[in-house]
Amino acid sequence: MINLQKHMSEIELRKKELPPVQIRRERIGTGKNFDLILENISLIIAGKTLLEGTNLKLSYGRKYGLVGRNGIGKTCLMNALARGEFPKMPNHLQILLVEQELRDTSKTVMNTVLETDIERE
């Protein structure tokens, strides 16, 4: 029980480090690409290189998951994407982060994410 409380406290602290959520909706047909394409990106956290010279492409309409052992930088990458820290990061894209824990539900995070679609106006 103590570990759960400690973990929940850590999550609350991490939430405070993130920028507030901004909802940006672009109308389809504006000519903007909704794919996220970043080339030659690097991510260094506390002197540790997590990515170096990496290309990242996430296609609109697809769902992705990051899988890996604890401490390898999955959350750091997602936070950096959400904050728009990479050069040439399109500012018309919206990146939302979800917690690993869901309150008052029997659904898993994976089921929640797979069932959720962001509607475009």
* All structural domains of the chain with their residue ranges: 17-115
Closest CA to 14 of 79, 77, 65, 68: 79
pLDDT for residue 121 is more than 70: no
Share of the chain above pLDDT 90, in %: 11
Give pLDDT, residue 120: 39
SS3 10: helix
Q: What mean pLDDT comes out for the span 75-93?
A: 86
Q: Give per-residue pLDDT as tens, 16-56.
A: 776 665 555 555 555 677 888 999 999 998 888 989 999 99
Taking all residues of the chain, what is their mean pLDDT, rounded to a whole number? 76
Give pLDDT, residue 52: 93
Q: Where are the beta strands (DSSP E) in the chain?
A: 36-45, 48-58
pLDDT for residue 116 is more than 70: no
The sign of the dihedral angle between the CA atoms of 40, 89, 15, 13 is positive
31 versus 90: the higher-pLDDT residue is 90
Structure tokens at 36: 């996220």
Most confident of 1-15, 40-54, 87-101: 40-54
Q: What pTM did the predictor assign? A: 0.59
With residues binned 3-state (H G I as helix, E B as strand, rest as coil), the percentages for the chain, rounded to 5, are 25, 15, 55
Give pLDDT, residue 45: 87
